Structures are given as structure tokens and as C-alpha cells.
Amino acid sequence: MEKREFLYEGKAKKVWTTDDPSVYVVEYKNSLTAFNALKKDSIEGKGRLNNLISSVLFEHLGKKGVPTHFISRIDDLQQLVRKVTIIPIEVVVRNITTGTLCKRLGVEEGKVLPRPLVELYLKDDALGDPIITEDHALLFGWSTQEQLNKIKEITLKVNSLLSEYFLGLGIILVDFKLEFGTDTEDNLLLADEISPDTCRFWDRDTKNRLDKDRFRKDLGDVLGAYEEIWRRVSSAEAL
């Protein structure tokens, strides 16, 4: 597979076309952003860790029957993925209350929810990714009812699979964000990335934050936390 034309640069990744029109190359960047890119930094080694972690998680989900865009990891920074048209909705799942949920609604931090809470946000940097309802998504044509039903079903399945997977590594999956897209044959695929940039991971015993909250809240040792997630994920893979 040959890398061809540079297509797009986002906050955390770059995308290239390949000689296969249905396949893209994604490169994970070291840059780190928070609060709609108001806070920015670059951490050497972060892109590699997110690529490694995300690749293993996509592979794990794929084996469990979740349709994903992931094809294979090329090297430390790059993956081959299926070309998708991204649905402009960020799907957030929460198992424990924290983050913008607490800010927005004034609810207590750290409360275990009786069931997973699924939220939809419009993927629009200029608007600061506002929260939306299913009706907004349907009425403004950002998604179809059929897609939303499938998105919700896959999202809850991913939550169950990853919660169990991480609990086995002594990690609580607090919340995370997913993105979906449609491939050239209109199949709905899980896309983007699954990494400490897009998930909140708490150590089960110490409740240490092992994710981007270390950057958001200036807790220090951001890379160390990402390395710890990779250490546990890779040790599970080696079994």
C-alpha cells in the first residue's frame, strides 16, 4: 500500500490517501489540545502511545464483532484505515459523573450512574461542540434514525466490552467519546481513535487519573499516565 496525497490535518491526527481509493493512512500526532483547543501543547511520544493503544483496542473490538475502520498498524505512528465519511456527531458515554456533565448540570462528581449515559454532541469546533438531542441530529440531517439506532447499539456494546477489558487491567473506564462514519458501501463503522486522549481512565485502586485529564487539570506526568495504560494493555496482549 502506497501513501499518496496529504488530505487533512486535525488536532491530533493527519490523514493521507493511498493507491487504494477505499483506504487511508492516519498518523497520530504528539499535539495535545483541551477546552476546544484553547489549551495546547506537544508531548514527544504521545502520538506513538495513542497509536499503539488505539490499534490494540480497535483490534480487540473487531474480534468481538464491532465494525471498525481499523485495518492494521503500519508503524509507531501510523495506521491503515478504511476510508469513511464521518458523521458529524461525537458520541459520549459516561459510567461515572465527571467533566462537562458536572459543570453543565451541577451534579456531584464521581457518582456511579445506574446505567451508562449516552450523549450526542455536534462535531463543530467553531461552535465548541454543543450538546444536541437525537431530534436535532435528525431534523438537521446530521444522521438518520437507522444510523442513530445502530450508533447507540454499537456504543453500548463498546462500553460493555471496554469496561470489562479495562477492569481486567485494574482500570475503571469512566467515560469516553466515539465517532462513526460510513464507508464507500454505506456500512456504519466505528472510526477516529480510542486512547487516553478520548477516554477517562482511573486506576481502580488509587483512583489515579491515567488520561488527558492530567493535561486538562495540570496534574503532571501526562506521558507517564499514557505509558502506564500502554504497559497494562500490552501486557494483556502478551498473555
CA nearest neighbour of 97 among 67, 71, 117, 81: 117
Residue number with CB closer to ligand C5P (41 or 72): 41
Shortest distance, CB of residue 31 to ligand C5P, whole angstroms?
14
Buried/exposed code over 196-214 (b: 16+ C-beta within 10 A; e: otherwise): bbbbbbbbeeeebbbbbbb
Distance CA 202, CA 204 (A): 6
Residues near ligand C5P (CB under 6 A) are: 90, 92, 99-101, 129, 175-177, 198-200, 212
Shortest distance, CB of residue 2 to ligand C5P, whole angstroms?
31
Residue number with CB closer to ligand C5P (175 or 228): 175
Distance CA 21, CA 224 (A): 38
Residue nearest to ligand C5P (CB): 99
CA nearest neighbour of 174 among 150, 217, 204, 153: 204
Residue number with CB closer to ligand C5P (70 or 215): 215
Residue number with CB closer to ligand C5P (46 or 212): 212
Shortest distance, CB of residue 237 to ligand C5P, whole angstroms?
22
Do you know the residue count of the chain? 239
Shortest distance, CB of residue 195 to ligand C5P, whole angstroms?
9
